[in-house]
Each structure stands twice: as C-alpha cells, then as structure tokens.
A and B are shown apart, each in its own frame.
Chain A
C-alpha cells in the first residue's frame, strides 16, 4: 500500500499558525502544489500581506517579502519588473486588498502587470479581531458593526472580482471557494491557471477564494461552511469573470 497524498515540497514542513478550519491553510497548499507541478519554486517570490497570512513567508518554500498593509500588488510590480524571469504572487486578505490596498490592486490590474494575485475573501478582518471589511455581508455582525452591516450607514459589500473584470488589462479573473472537496479541486485548477498565465506571459491573473474565518464569525468550522454556502455564495457567485487567451501586447500587435 502506497501513500497517494504527499505534502508539496513548496510548503515547508511546519505547523501553520492558522486557526482550526481556516481557509488560508487550504489556499496555501493549493499554491504550493501549483509551484511543485509547474516547477517554478526556485524562481517564485511570495509577497505576504498584513493580516492573518502575514507569516506566509514562513510557510512557502520560496523567496519572500512581507510588505506594508495593502501594498502587495505594488511590491509585486517592482519585483516582477526588476526580475522578469521570477514568478511573483501577491497573497492578500479582503481587509488588506479591498480597504487599505484598494488603490494598489486596481492600478496593478489596470496596468496589466504580469503577476498573480490570490485574494482570500473571508468577509471580515481576521487578524485584528473581526472588524467589518468591505466584503462583510449586509446584516453580518462585526466588532465595528455590532448590529450588523447596514447598507445605509456602511454601504453594500464590494464584489472585487466583478469590479476588476471591467478593466481592459486583466487577463484572468475567477472566484472559487474552498468549502468542499469538489470546490477545492476547482480552486486548485484556477490557481494553477493564474500561475501558468504568468509563466506564459499572458498577464495579470487574479483568483478570489471564498474562505471561512470561524474564529471571527464566532462559529465552529462546520457551521462556518454553512455560512459560506448560504450567505456568502449568493453575494459572491463562483465563476470566471474574465479569461483572455492573449496578452495585451499580442492584442495591440494584432491591432485588436
């Protein structure tokens, strides 16, 4: 009898600090498997965010940098432009990417940087104890919205994948979820494609991952899955929002 599962080499053999059930850990494994399969580990750089994934550089077995809050896409831009043969990905939560870092992600996407962004949407600020994020759902409670998010006071949730897909330059944008085994397998395909696009110089690729934060939602991990499916998925439908086969440069050359 042989083991048919194996920890990817691109994930260091250490216990991660994430809470029981946290979706960050699953996303880490999928990225690490992708690095192994594409044989890019030795030229990959992870840009770790501020948020629960601040220690991502201690888990991925590749080069790393940890940036100021929300600035991942700008840092990734610099690394990629200075070292175009490297494979650079920015790993960000929804507080990091959609509040303080909104400018950086929008402009990196608009410039069509050939980088990969993995966006973990858990509808809350995890690391700092459950404050409202731009992605927090209407009615969802947070320490800064104890009666639940009220659209009249705090506006409606932001659908980042849909917003970015309205820009011309991004090449690939998909929203996935890690709530079930079939969805984890689909999430892996999306993440792999987002890295393949960078290897093939197609351009800016973005995967939003719906993920549970049982700790700050105040539920067990299993109840967290129910919340993700029943409450998050209607607001954040899974799917491909953009999938261009050619790079922006190819399109311009062909006069398209």
Chain B
C-alpha cells in the first residue's frame, strides 16, 4: 500500500496538503512538533494511493511519497 512520510522537522503545519489530497488521507497532529507547529500526518492506513498531489503543494518539501 502506498504511503507518505512527513518530516516533522520540516513541516510548518500550513495544511495545504490536507486540501490537496484527493482521498482526504491527511490530518493535522494535535501535538506540537519540536519546531513548534502542528505537523501533518497520514491519518488513515490503507488510504493513500501514492498520487503525490500532497507533495506537489507542500511548500517545505516535508512529504516523501512511497509506492
């Protein structure tokens, strides 16, 4: 199953990826990262189709897509 990994040291919690994901797989964490943001995370297992739309909009290159 495809998946994404979010680098919490790079994510600035802008939420743009949550809107870009056609499957609504991404949610924001409710705990702060070390850098002081609420980072994005893959909320549901078996949700991601590996389309990389989230990667396209992520300003901070925080997302890596695996397929």
Residues of A near any B CB (own CB < 8 A): 1-7, 11, 15-16, 18-26, 29, 178, 180-181, 184-185, 214, 220-222, 225
Contacts and interface: CB of A to CB of B under 8 A. Distances in A.
Contact of B57 (A20, A180, A214): A180
B61 A7 contact: yes
A20 B9 contact: no
A181 B59 contact: no
A153 to B, nearest CB: 34
Given A1-B3, A11-B61, A181 B56 contact: yes
B6 to A, nearest CB: 12
Contact of A20 (B14, B50, B65, B67): B14
Contacts of B59: 16, 18, 20-26
Given A5-B64, A222-B15, A181 B9 contact: no
B19 A222 contact: yes
Contacts of A214: 14
7 contacts: A1-B3, A16-B59, A21-B16, A25-B59, A26-B57, A178-B57, A222-B15
A6 B56 CA distance: 11
Contacts of A7: 61
Contact of B50 (A4, A24, A185, A220): A4
Nearest to B15: A222
Given A20-B37, A21-B14, 16 more contacts: A3-B65, A4-B66, A5-B52, A16-B60, A18-B59, A19-B12, A20-B12, A20-B14, A23-B59, A25-B61, A29-B61, A180-B57, A181-B53, A221-B14, A221-B16, A222-B16
A214 B15 CA distance: 12
B20 A181 contact: yes
A154 to B, nearest CB: 30
Contacts of A185: 56
A15 B9 contact: yes
Contacts of B3: 1
A26 B57 CA distance: 7
Contact of B19 (A3, A25, A225): A225
B26 interface: no
A26 to B, nearest CB: 5
Contacts of A24: 59
Contact of B10 (A4, A15, A19, A222): A15
Interface in B1-58: 2-3, 9-10, 12-16, 19-20, 37, 50, 52-58
Contacts of A5: 52, 55, 63-65
